[in-house]
Amino acid sequence: MDIDLIKSCEAKAKEWLTSPVYDEQTKAEVKALLEAEDKTALVDAFYQSLEFGTGGLRGIMGAGTNRMNRYIVGAATQGFANYINKAFAGKKDIAVVVGHDCRNHGREFAETVANIFSANGIKVYLFESLRPTPEISFAIRQLKAQAGVNVTASHNPKEYNGYKAYWEDGAQVLAPHDTGIIDEVNKVKIEEVKFQGNPDLIQIIGGEMDWDYLQAVKEAMVDQEVINRQKDLNIVYTPLHGTGRVIIPEALRSWGFQNIHVVPEQMVIDGNFPTVVSPNPENSEAMTLGMKLGTKLNADLVIASDPDADRLAIVCRNPKGEWEILNGNQTAMMFAWYIIANKKKLGQLKGNEFLVKTIVTTEIIKKIADKNGVELMDCYTGFKWIAALIRENEGVKKYIGGGEESFGFLPFDKVRDKDSPASICLICEIAAWAKDNGKTLYDLLMDIYLEYGFTLNHTINVVRPGKTGADEIKQMMVDFRGAKAPKTLAGSKVICTKDYQALTATDDKGNVTKLDMPAKSNVLQWFTESGIKISVRPSGTEPKIKFYIEAPAEMQCPKCYTSATAEAMAQVEAIKKDLGI
């Protein structure tokens, strides 16, 4: 390890020991890092400052400049408060909404955030206890607040916490506010943080907002009659120890579902997530207890939300009666198909509707939209980009749904982030519709593949923690843009390369066209002759680089699903070799 880097980190750590700002517990933790023979943990804690990015903060909890703790949260909030006061200078009664999820230190961080905003003359609506991320977004709009913060690390492992920053439209911040906030945060010295709050400016909120939010969620419903006929749909739900535990069963009941069961072990609020390896519904392991209860109760489907209840996961039965976990692309396809097909059937489409998907999400959604004459818009990964398209088209076009492959969907526009309560209610309506037609969700999925063509979507996460990992990920992107740019993938010729950093699309003859996107992004895409699509994107919140692979295969009948999957997986394995991952 670099000696100069170790010395630099030791110097930063010693500043924490001598500063009067930091409490004794924090200093004891820093001292232990300094005294440890192995300096890896010290370097990871101090080699950089945890960056306040365009979405806020996310990191491992602990002492240090590169960790989530009261002081890093405090400096971020002071900078955010400074920016808000500048952006709304002259406005009376500037207000923010603050919430948190079930994670360790969540309440402590949320109260720290509330205190600092109030100390800077900003009124704070602080939720009484943990609440879903989409409800925070909803509350910002409902209360006409200027901004908001939710303390959450979403679906990350238990060691993490985070801080999502929202603007007055209820969406995570975009340009120019994102860079403006970052500039203000970077100026803040820890001594300038106003930790001592003003209680007169902090208002606790809870049940009334829950009611308003639940009423709004019902706007995502397409067909009440289907639910009435299938009100006994057998549903098993798990919140994975998180914020959906109360509001999602209530939402389902408000839609008319009467046969709802919960996984008792995972109804316990616990930031250590004791029943799962990781509280990420993208991981099949997280669904084990739900499926076990579903088998016992002969349930029609099993559903989960992640700790902050923005993502959802769905498990349904295949023709053999076995549980089949749907991936985020399959879920988004079903939402898109059902919303369009049944709104059309009920005469709810007026001709100005649009759907949104992210560039890494399955192209089947575009086929569904195109065939039915509904406009589809593509955007970058992250719901702030979907929210931006909703905002840009408000009053002109009608948003009817948007999603991304990472298990997130938003079926109505009163919220401007992923919304699992609304999406879970809607997927149960879809399951009710399928049952009404003698089908399961699995059968519906097969119908969609047969009509629009089969593709397999497979995501590979290459994790590279620490500074060396960050450097390695950076180099991988440089190589893919240069010497290691693929000419063929799984034996199929690359006919188009899209570089969102350069905002260019280059075909196999070298012709270059500009990409019409609102900003640059460190993403590469390759498209091949056979219909393979690959997207490469370093994560903005985690130490990893993601490869999104979409591979087509022949599927002539529902029973061909297994062989089509195997054919596509063979392509995935070939692609991994081609890319060296």
Coil, helix or strand at residue 564: helix
Q: Which two tokens stand for residue 571?
A: 């392509």
Nearest alpha-carbon partner for 559 in 459, 457, 458, 454: 454
- In eight-state DSSP terms, residue 278 is S
- In eight-state DSSP terms, residue 417 is S
Nearest alpha-carbon partner for 306 in 286, 332, 328, 326: 286
Residues 6 or more apart whose Cβ sits within 8 Å of residue 123: 93, 94, 95, 96, 201, 202, 203
- Packing angle of the helix pair 328-345, 364-371 (nearest 10 deg): 10
- In eight-state DSSP terms, residue 491 is T
**Which residue is associated with the tokens 């997530």?**
273
- In eight-state DSSP terms, residue 61 is B
Strands 260-262 and 488-489: unpaired
Catalytic, out of 49, 118, 129, 154: 154
Residue 137 is among the residues annotated as catalytic for this protein: no
Residue 192: CB atoms within 10 Å: 12
DSSP assignment of 206-244? -HHHHHHHHHHHGGG-S-HHHHHHTTT--EEEE-TTSTH
Residues 6 or more apart whose Cβ sits within 8 Å of residue 420: 132, 134, 244, 248, 305, 306, 309, 310, 311, 312
Nearest alpha-carbon partner for 450 in 365, 555, 367: 555
**Which residue is associated with the tokens 């709004």?**
216
What residues are annotated to the active site? 154
